[in-house]
Amino acid sequence: MEKRYTTWNEYLRGRFGEKVFKVPIDAGFDCPNRDGTVAKGGCTFCSVSGSGDMILEPEAPIDVQFRAEVDQFHKKWPNVAKYIAYFQNYTNTHGSLETIKSRFEPALVQDNVVGISIGTRPDCLPADVVDYLADIQARGFEVWIDLGLQTTYEATSDLINRAHDYGTYVDAVERLRAHGIKVCTHLINGLPGETPEMMLENVRRTVLDSDIQGIKLHLLHLMRNTAMQRDYHAGRLQLLSRDEYVNIICDQLELIPKDIVIHRLTGDAPRDSIIGPMWSLKKWEVLNAIDAELERRDVYQGDRDVRKEILVRQ
């Protein structure tokens, strides 16, 4: 069934003419709000693996990780032959330029790698690293920065221990875009204290304040052995129901311009580590429910494009 929003797979097929695998890699980085650079403890929602729970061989050398993931993919899709190396967990530009190069380059030299996607934070993109990313792009690779923002509200950001402000995010996007580097911003729905109206405002601000090419909308997964468990047990966190989440996502999609690629509308979490919402483990049911709600409303991504709303007001 044709989607009512611009999917990541659709974008890649248009860009490369075929299906492309995004290959997750654990490069062994830490985060500045974990190691004391800017804070301790990390984001309160983050698991011990730094969102890399699903990586097959996180301790192996990068080339070994890459081949293991590709072999697994090929069990289901044997004919796919192009890959994007995805440096997924923790902050993959938190280190010296030499260290970063030593971890990215082994992935870039793997057969049929056409691009790189780098999960990082806006406060870990100094000029020399941005220049290196621009160099990778100049070598013909597709470069995406998966930029963790999570929320535009400073109070929420402080509560979850992000340890950077919204202005730092806006500045980072501007500097990346000056080199033409594509940015996919991450937002989390269901953070403590945030209402559906605030979640919509997160999307409005992100689209209007920064020149992004992609967006990931995550459901907050409450994981075991995370600081956020305290908020949950203290009653400061209410987990979203599936119906609530589906409606929020559909409202957000209507606001997002059609040219912005939707990289994700939910996420994955290992069953033995998640506290809730347990309905999120049935990922395809969630995605099907989103499709059904968009069809019921008879709406598409961008039907209430926030950029056009501003032009009308002006």
Q: In this structure, what token pair is assigned to residue 202?
A: 């997160």
pLDDT of residue 93 exceeding 70: yes
List the strands of the sheet with 142-150, edge to edge.
21-25, 83-87, 113-120, 142-150, 182-189, 214-219, 261-264
The predicted pLDDT at position 51 comes to 52
Closest CA to 204 of 242, 273, 251, 165: 251
Of 182-186, 227-231, 251-255, the range with the lowest mean pLDDT is 227-231
CB 147 within 8 A of CB 187: no
Whether pLDDT at 225 is above 90: no
The mean per-residue pLDDT over the stretch 183-211 comes to 97
Which backbone phi and psi does 8 adopt, to 5 degrees? -60, -45
Higher pLDDT pick, 313 / 130: 130
* Cis preceding linkage at 277, omega within 30: yes
Helices assigned H by DSSP within 139-191:
154-159, 166-177
8-312: CATH number: 3.20.20
Note the pLDDT of residue 73. 87
